Structures are given as structure tokens and as C-alpha cells.
Amino acid sequence: MASSCTELAEIVNQGKLVSDEIIISLLSKRLEAGEAKGESGFLLDGFPRTVRQAEILDDVTDIDLVINLKLPENILVEKCLGRRICNQCGKNFNVASINAKGENGSPGISMAPLLPPSHCISKLITRADDTEAVVKERLRVYNDKSLPVEEFYRTQGKLLEFDLPGGIPESWPKLLEALNLDVHEGKQSAAA
Ligand SMILES: [Zn+2]
């Protein structure tokens, strides 16, 4: 496990994609373990990233719904570059303050920063893969390899497009609404 984690970290730090074999084997093990424990479902974050992975995933399990969380690219970059971690308590923060005006009829997007408490401020570090070059390389790889995945699920009628209206406080209720979920129900599962 240690070696595969190191392998994953090295690949991720270079902004590259992890090999399908590594991911599918880790994922299959995790899904089997969850099923054995009686888990009724699962949520994959940022996977599959290629059509090939999506095809393999279809052989491994059934996917009900794919949610495409969308933000304009300039905001994505700004948000990624604002990420900080406290090297003492390990908590994640974001110092980027987004205030984008709406263009061409689309609404503006505001995202408040997630600022650290005073005792963390002097201990903030930036992740090695949150440089502008790596973030832009991730976006290039996304547009090249992952955009076709949207089409893959769109043709299956499983793709839910969701334009993020702002940060988590603005987006969460709207996302639950789009999923036809009750806000209270959502809060419970988010806390669980
Ligand atoms: Zn801290």
C-alpha cells in the first residue's frame, strides 16, 4: 500500500493521470469491502477521467448519475492557487477571494475565502501540485482526456450539468434542489 501511495503522489504531483490498472484495482477492492460491510452506495470524486476508465467502470459496477460541477476556467485556476494547508493541524484553507462579474447573461460568481484561525496563519503551506503550471497542465489534460467522458455519460442519459453559483454555502442548497433532495436530508448525510 505504501508503495502504491508513493506512486500515486508522484504522478499526481506532476499533474499527470494515474494509470488505469492502479486505479481500477484500488477501486474494485474498496467497492468489494464496502459491499461486504453493507454499504448501499458510493460516490466517486474526480473519477473516471478517461472514456477508457468509464468503460472499465461500467464492467465493474453500475453508475446511476454523473454530476458535472462546472466553473469558468479562470476561476478554477484562481481557486486552486488559493489553496493552503496548515502544516501543524493539517486543515485545508483557501485564501482566494472570488468576485467575478456576470458576462453574456450568466450570473456573477462570488466565493468567499476560507481563512485560517490566527494560530494557523504562520504555518500555512501550499501543496506541491498547486502551482500555476501544474494547474494549467491539469486543465489541459482534462480538456483532452476528460471532456469526452462528459459525452460518454450524456449519451447514456446520466449526466447532470451543474453550474456552480458560488462557494459551498451558495451551491449546496441548489445542488440538493437539482437532485430533488431535501435540504435537511442533505445536511444529515453531509454530517454523517
Ligand atoms: Zn493549524
Q: What is the pLDDT of residue 2?
A: 45
Helices (H), 37-72: 51-60
Residue 27 neighbours by CB distance under 10 Å = 19
Q: How far is the CA of 113 from the centre of ligand 1 (A)?
A: 16
Q: Which residues contact 175 (CB under 8 A, 6 or more apart)?
A: 67, 162
Q: Give 1's pLDDT tier (boundaries 50, 70, 90).
A: very low
Q: Render pLDDT for 40-78 as a digit per residue (tens, 0 to 9).
A: 888 988 888 889 889 988 988 889 999 999 999 999 999
Closest Cα partner for 17 from 42, 41, 51? 51
Residue 125 has pLDDT above 90, yes or no: yes
Q: Which residues contact 36 (CB under 8 A, 6 or more apart)?
A: none
Cα–Cα distance measured from residue 111 to residue 102, given in angstroms and rounded to the nearest whole number: 13
Q: What is the largest CA-CA distance in the chain?
A: 50
Q: How far is the CA of 131 from the centre of ligand 1 (A)?
A: 22
Q: What is the pLDDT of residue 185?
A: 56
Residue 124 neighbours by CB distance under 10 Å = 16
Q: What is the pLDDT of residue 16?
A: 64
Residue 19 has pLDDT above 90, yes or no: no
Q: Give 190's pLDDT tier (boundaries 50, 70, 90).
A: very low
Q: What is the pLDDT of residue 13?
A: 63
Percentage, residues of the chain above pLDDT 90: 48
Q: Give 105's pLDDT tier (boundaries 50, 70, 90).
A: confident
Cα–Cα distance measured from residue 170 to residue 6, given in angstroms and rounded to the nearest whole number: 36
Q: How far is the CA of 57 from the centre of ligand 1 (A)?
A: 38
Q: Kindly compute the dihedral angle of the four CA atoms of residues 152, 7, 88, 130, in this order, to the nearest 10 degrees.
A: -50
Domains identified in the chain and CATH numbers:
1-63 (no CATH), 71-160 (3.40.50.300)
Cα–Cα distance measured from residue 149 to residue 47, given in angstroms and rounded to the nearest whole number: 10
Q: What is the pLDDT of residue 184?
A: 62
Q: Tell the residue number behind the cell numbers 488505469, with chain if given.
A: 20
What are 185's three cell numbers? 436530508
- The phi and psi torsions of 128 (rounded to 5 degrees) equal -60, -25
Q: How far is the CA of 119 from the centre of ligand 1 (A)?
A: 6
Q: What is the pLDDT of residue 75?
A: 92
Q: Which residues pair with 99 in a beta bridge?
A: 110
Q: Give 14's pLDDT tier (boundaries 50, 70, 90).
A: low
